[in-house]
Amino acid sequence: METDRDPGLQPERTRLAWRRTTLTCLVTAVLAMRQALRSGSSGPAVAAVGLAALAFLAFLRLAHRRIQRLGAARPPAMPVRTATAVAVAVCMVALAVFGSAVVW
């Protein structure tokens, strides 16, 4: 059973939101790397930067896959409790934690 969806610009707005979020994650990962390089690159800081980079790459893959699906004429809705939605949330939290670990 499919519900009625906005056939207008909703998919385009959602695609743009995914791209903005991806860009924000990239900036966070780059700033964490820059901070680690400037602070002398201690062992935990390097590990946090590596983990932040992995979290960003995982998020990038998930976002790219979702952006491609939104390119369809009638893109499917992403259910809230799917593995993709949970993985995106985990990537965002991990990026925040690893980024803050570099700063401290």
C-alpha 81/C-alpha 59 separation (Å) is 17
C-alpha 61/C-alpha 87 separation (Å) is 11
pTM for the model stands at 0.69
- Is the pLDDT at 9 greater than 80? The verdict is no
- pLDDT tens-digit series, residues 78-104: 766 778 888 888 888 888 887 777 666
**Per-residue model confidence (pLDDT) at position 41:** 66
C-alpha 33/C-alpha 46 separation (Å) is 8
- Is the pLDDT at 22 greater than 70? The verdict is yes
Rg (the chain; Cα; Å): 17
Instruction: Give me the DSSP letters along 37-54.
Output: HHTT--HHHHHHHHHHHH
C-alpha 46/C-alpha 36 separation (Å) is 7
Q: How high does pLDDT run on average in the chain?
A: 79
